[in-house]
Each structure stands twice: as C-alpha cells, then as structure tokens.
Chain A
Amino acid sequence: MAVLAKELTAELRGRVALNAVGLFGLTTLIAVAYQIGPYRIADADRPHLLAALLWIILYFAAASGLPRVFVKEEDARTAKTLRLAARPGAVFTGKFLFNVILLAALEAFLVPLYCALMSYGIAGIGPFTLLLACGAVALAATSTIVAAIISRATGSGTLFAILSVPLVLPLLVFLIQGTRAASASAGLAEVLPALRAVTSLAGVTLVTSAFIFPVVWHE
C-alpha cells in the first residue's frame, strides 16, 4: 500500500498521467464524434460499431498513460532505488492498483461523454458498469506487466503498443461483445459470457504476472 500511496501522492501533485490519458481520450472522442457522430452510422451497424469505437478510444487513451507507471521510474532513475528497497510483489500490486484507479477515472470521465456525444443508449447500466470494472482490472493487469517489461528496454514508447496489442486483442473482443449485449439488453445473462471471459483473462494475467514480475523487475 506504501507504493500505491506514493503513486497517488506523486500523481496528484504532478497530474502527468491523468492529463495524458484524459486529454488523449477527450481529443480522440471529439475527433470521432465530429467525424462520425450519432447520425452517420447506419442503424444496423450501430450496435457493433459504437461498442468497438468506445473500447478503441479507451484502450488508446489508456496506452498513452498506463505505461508511465514504470517508464517514469526508469526515466527519473528512481527504479533502481525502488528495486533495492521494495519487494517485487509490493511494487507490482501498488502499480497495478494505481493503473486500475487511473483506468476507472478515465472510464468515469469518458464513457458518459461518449454515450452523450454518440447517442449511445445502454439498456443494462448495471451489467455494463460491471463490464467496465472488470475491463479496467484486466486492461490494467496486462498494461502493468507489459509496462514493466518495456521500461527496461530502449524505445519504450513504441514498444508498449507493439507488445501489448497482441495480448489485449482477445480482451477487447470480449469487452466489445459484452458492451453490445449490454446496450441491447438490460439483463445480466447476456453479458455473462463476456464477463466470464474478461474475468478469466484478468485472473490468468495476474497469476502469470505474479510469477514473471520478479524476473522482470530484478532481472
């Protein structure tokens, strides 16, 4: 929790990651809404296209800020100090939870705006919120461990996208499918397959990260 507290304190004072993800997300959303808007999509295409666009905007906004959690440590040369002081488990947990909070904040900010600007109605608000929460956890899990890996390489900015896209694609598929279901129906049953898949993926990623993070962190 000390690591999480430190991350939150530093972020609230600097607001670098918050600004990055928030502004990137907002800019992308405005560009999409302006070009496509609620009226230029055929009714038949709306369910899938709107769900897909939402998660693409969220993912790329997240990708602009989530890797910072490790990259900034290497850039500021605080990584070695932290490496010599804290247990790997404590470091990963703190940074993973920070990324979950960052993603949750991004979703809370962007999703209502998206629904308003794109006239995207969600029939099942409850299941959709659950999907957003599980999606945040799963996305944060993958992004955190990939950020840890790329922070120790050169050219980490571009590497994050290259390494994370193949891993995040199945997750995005499930989230888009779940969002489609939630927008069409109020019931939890329709969203359940996607929720199960997202939760499994999150669980598998977290367990694997627990195993490989000490290797990544301590070499």
Chain B
Amino acid sequence: MTKPRLRTTAQWLLGIWLLVVAIAAFHWAPTARGFKGESSRIVFFHVPQAWVAVLAFCVNLVASLRYLRGRDPLDDARAAAAARLGLVFSVLATITGSLFAHVMWGSFWNWDPREVSIVILLLIYAAYFALREAITDDERRASLAAAYAILAFVTMPFLIFIVPRIYFSLHPDTLINTRGAMDMESRMFQVLMGSLVGFTGLFSWLYTLDVRLAKIRLARRRREEV
C-alpha cells in the first residue's frame, strides 16, 4: 500500500473509531453513581481532552529540547504545532469541565485546584505564543520559545500534582489517585480508554498535518535562498 493510501485509510479508521466511541459513550456505557443525571458521560470527552493537552505539552518539550540540541527549524515547527493543539485542547477541556461543574454544583467555575491547573496550562500556551509573536528573528524566536517551554514544563508538576493535594478539591477522584485503586465500572473504563486512544489519534493526525505543512514551507524557503 502506498503512503498516501495508508494515510487515507488511517484517517477513515480514526473517524470510524471516534464515531463508535461517541455512540458507546451515550448508549453503551452506564452512568456513574454519585453524579447528577447523565453528567458523568462528559468524562469520556473531558478526560481525553485534558490528557491530550498534557500530551501536547510533553511533545512541545521534547521538540524544544531537540531544537536546542540540533537547531533544526523543523523541530521548532514541531514544538509550535504541538503548542497550537495543546492550546485548543486546553480550551476544550476547560469548557467541558465548566459544563460539568455547572450541572453538578450549579456554577461554571469553582476555583477548584484541578480546574485552575488546566487554565494555567492554557495560560502557559498563550504566553508561549505571545512570546513567539514578540520576536521577529526566526532563530531567536525558536531558542527563546524552547527555553520558556522547558521552564514551564518543570513548574507544571507542582501545579498539577502538588497543589491539589494541599487544597480540598471538588474534582472527582482521578484514575491516578492516592490509593492506587481503579474505581471505574468496566464498560465505562473501556469506553474511556477507547476515547483516550481516539483523541490521541486525533492529536497525532492534526499534529502530523501541521508538521507536513511546516516541512513544505521550510523546503520552499530553502529553494528561494539557493
């Protein structure tokens, strides 16, 4: 099978997978105890979005480190692509989280530590792009953006893991919890895992598209310079 054909097939499979996950989320997985009405179903979308937002952050870090080592403009393009998607998924995670909060506790925003941590991630992405926009020199932009990405990455664990342990959180107990116990019903867990795979695939597809576009732009620029 040729590469374009393989790509098209993978895209169709991804689309079907996500469709199946969406249907399963509403019609196959049960609702969770202790949640109002059908509100627990948002977990199949909210959690993968938050996961992708953090995954994008990690990809951004790796690409930034690679750029500083090899100074390849493509690594800078990879870092920016990951950050763009990370910003989008942070916004989506914030929105879905707010909708859930409104249903459960009657208020879109409760200053819950986990709510705050995803917003801080959003702010970091926004700051990253504000920094990139403020620098006209390509090489300097890439270096400074990479430096900021690394600095932000080392600060985040304090926000994501330590602050919620200090403050009482309204947020439902996570899968990675202090007891090390998995508290999710089997079908719910399967749909959640399916959704995680699907959203990761979606991120991977969009990221690959963005990077391919960047490769074309860089190649065109190199041809112009020659």
Contacts and interface: CB of A to CB of B under 8 A. Distances in A.
Interface of A: 142, 145-146, 149-150, 152-156, 159, 162-163, 165-167, 169-171, 173-174, 177, 193, 197, 200-201, 204-205, 208-209, 211-212, 215-216, 219
B120 interface: yes
B71 to A, nearest CB: 10
B144 A163 contact: no
Contact of B130 (A145, A159, A215, A216): A159
A150 B150 CA distance: 15
B144 A208 contact: no
B152 A166 contact: yes
Contact of B147 (A159, A193, A215): A215
A111 B200 CA distance: 49
A63 to B, nearest CB: 14
Interface of B is mostly: helix
Interface of A is mostly: helix
Contacts of A216: 143-144, 147
Contact of A215 (B127, B146, B155, B158): B146
14 contacts: A149-B151, A153-B135, A153-B144, A154-B134, A155-B134, A159-B131, A163-B131, A166-B124, A170-B155, A170-B159, A193-B166, A209-B151, A212-B151, A216-B144
B155 A150 contact: no
A144 to B, nearest CB: 11
Interface of B: 68, 116, 120, 123-124, 126-127, 130-131, 134-136, 139-140, 143-144, 146-148, 150-152, 154-155, 158-159, 162-163, 166-167
Contact of B154 (A149, A169, A208): A208
Given A159-B131, A208-B154, A219-B139, 6 more contacts: A153-B131, A155-B134, A166-B127, A167-B151, A170-B163, A209-B151
B151 A208 contact: yes
A162 B155 contact: no
Contact of A162 (B126, B139, B167): B126
Contacts of A212: 147, 150-151
Nearest to B157: A204
Contacts of B146: 215
A149 B155 contact: no
Nearest to B120: A166
A149 B166 contact: no
A200 B162 CA distance: 11
A163 B148 contact: yes
Given A163-B127, A167-B151, A205-B155, A215 B140 contact: no
A154 B154 contact: no
Which among A171, A173, A201 has the greatest number of chain B C-beta atoms within 10 A?
A173
Nearest to B139: A219
